[in-house]
């Protein structure tokens, strides 16, 4: 049995297309768990109507109060549900018919190789589409200039490749998700970090999702190699800086949650990365070089180095 976790909030425009695409999957051994975050539109009514038509297949609940972000809604569900396989699902995408089949095949292949007790996360590529599902790019990986084959911890600390809407993970990994950390950037990045430290990360190279881009979705796909992206970076300096600083904070929070379980090189690496803001600038750059905690791609790496060189260390230190 596969459990699909769907966090909803004011998604009335696209939620029906998503659910219909899930119900049309070539593999039907699944249950959809919907948790609505106090929608103010008709989303809750729509998902309830699907639950009534598909009893036992779709289960719907609603939070008592709004959590303030999809990441909290998702993480609450991830803490609660620990099935053999768990998939995450965004309300505005469309699943390709063989998504579950491809994800199950890959994660079982990895469990055969490493054992079912090994925590495993699998994610896939996506097709990027506009709000009317017209194709923008046949590969999110290529469009965003990422390399999904890189799964080492020194890389995962700096950025996340595993888009939550493409992921599947096993019960061994689910058991590590027990609490809401003091800080985390996104639920899928936290999950990828956990897999990088305690287990394995695998990829399906084919797209399994139509990743819809519209004015309201939280994260968008950007052509990182385009002049437009360079312009975006130059006009969103504070945003880019915040993203890098958040990765340090997330590493520190990860240590707080899992410090007694992490050992050896992994603990050293996470500790060093979390402490980067406290170092003088030159030491910071030398440390990043030593531990290879660079973001992937020339543009991202250039921005990262720029902030390493220009940001003063915290706690009133001089650089």
Extract the tokens encoding 30: 């699944």
Q: Is residue 194 part of a domain?
A: yes
Dihedral over Cα of 215, 103, 153, 263: its sign:
positive
The predicted model scores a pTM of 0.92
Residues 208 and 274 in one domain: no
Percent of the chain residues topping a pLDDT of 70: 91
Flag whether 219 is in a domain.
no
The verdict on residue 66 lying in a domain is: yes
If one counts the domains in the chain, the total is 2
One domain for residues 198 and 248: no
Range of the domain at 259: 227-310
- Let me know whether 257 and 203 are in one domain: no
Q: What is the mean pLDDT of the chain?
A: 92
Residue 218 is assigned to a structural domain of this protein: no
In this structure, are 138 and 231 located in the same domain? no
Last residue of a domain, one of 212, 240, 265: 212
Q: Are residues 166 and 239 in the same domain?
A: no
- Who's near 210: CB < 8 A, 6+ residues apart? 93, 94, 95, 96, 126, 127, 129, 133
Choosing from 152, 178, 212, the residue where a domain stops is 212
- Asked whether residue 301 is domain-assigned, the answer is yes
Domain co-membership, 188 together with 289: no
The answer to whether residue 218 scores a pLDDT higher than 50 is: no
Domain-located, residue 187 = yes
| Residue at 277 is within a domain | yes
Task: Measure the CA–CA gap between 192 and 129, rounded to whole angstroms.
Answer: 25
Same-domain status, 108 and 176: yes
| 155, two tokens | 């890389």
> Looking at the domain assignment, is residue 294 inside a domain?
yes
pLDDT band at 267 (very low <50, low <70, confident <90, very high): very high
Residue 66 has phi, psi (to 5 degrees) of -70, 135
What is the structure's pLDDT at 134? 97
Measured from the Cβ of residue 129, the count of other Cβ atoms closer than 10 Å reads: 20
Instruction: Tell whether 27 and 156 lie within a shared domain.
Output: yes
Strands 85-89 and 58-62: unpaired
Last residue of a domain, one of 153, 187, 212: 212
Number of other residues whose CB lies within 10 A of the CB of residue 179: 9
Q: Quick check: 155 pLDDT over 60? A: yes
Assess whether 124 and 7 both reside in one domain. yes
* pLDDT of 318 above 50: no
């Amino acid at each position: 049995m596969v459990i699909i976790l769907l966090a909803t909030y004011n998604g009335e425009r696209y939620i029906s297309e998503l659910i219909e695409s899930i119900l049309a999957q070539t593999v039907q051994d699944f249950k959809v768990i919907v948790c609505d975050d106090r929608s103010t539109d008709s989303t809750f009514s729509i998902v309830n109507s699907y639950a009534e038509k598909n009893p036992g297949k779709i289960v719907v609940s609603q939070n008592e109060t709004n959590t303030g972000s999809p990441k909290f809604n998702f993480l609450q569900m991830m803490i609660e549900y620990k099935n053999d396989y768990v998939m995450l699902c965004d309300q505005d995408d469309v699943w390709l018919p063989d998504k579950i089949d491809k994800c199950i095949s890959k994660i079982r292949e990895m469990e055969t190789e490493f054992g079912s007790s090994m925590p495993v996360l699998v994610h896939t590529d996506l097709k990027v589409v506009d709000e009317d599902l017209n194709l923008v790019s046949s590969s999110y990986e290529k469009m965003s200039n990422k390399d999904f084959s890189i799964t080492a911890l020194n890389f995962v600390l700096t950025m996340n490749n595993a888009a939550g809407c493409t992921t599947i993970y096993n019960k061994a990994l689910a058991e590590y998700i027990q609490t809401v950390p003091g800080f985390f950037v996104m639920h899928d990045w936290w999950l990828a970090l956990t897999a990088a430290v305690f287990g394995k990360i695998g990829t399906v190279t084919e797209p399994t999702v139509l990743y819809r881009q519209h004015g309201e979705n939280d994260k968008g796909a950007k052509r990182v190699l385009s002049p437009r992206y360079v312009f975006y970076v130059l006009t969103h300096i504070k945003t880019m800086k915040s993203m890098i600083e958040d990765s340090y904070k997330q590493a520190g929070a990860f240590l707080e949650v899992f410090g007694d379980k992490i050992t050896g090189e992994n603990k050293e690496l996470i500790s060093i990365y979390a402490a980067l803001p406290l170092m003088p600038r030159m030491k910071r750059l030398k440390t990043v070089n030593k531990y290879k905690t660079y973001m992937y791609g020339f543009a991202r790496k250039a921005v990262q180095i720029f902030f390493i060189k220009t940001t003063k260390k915290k706690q009133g230190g001089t650089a």
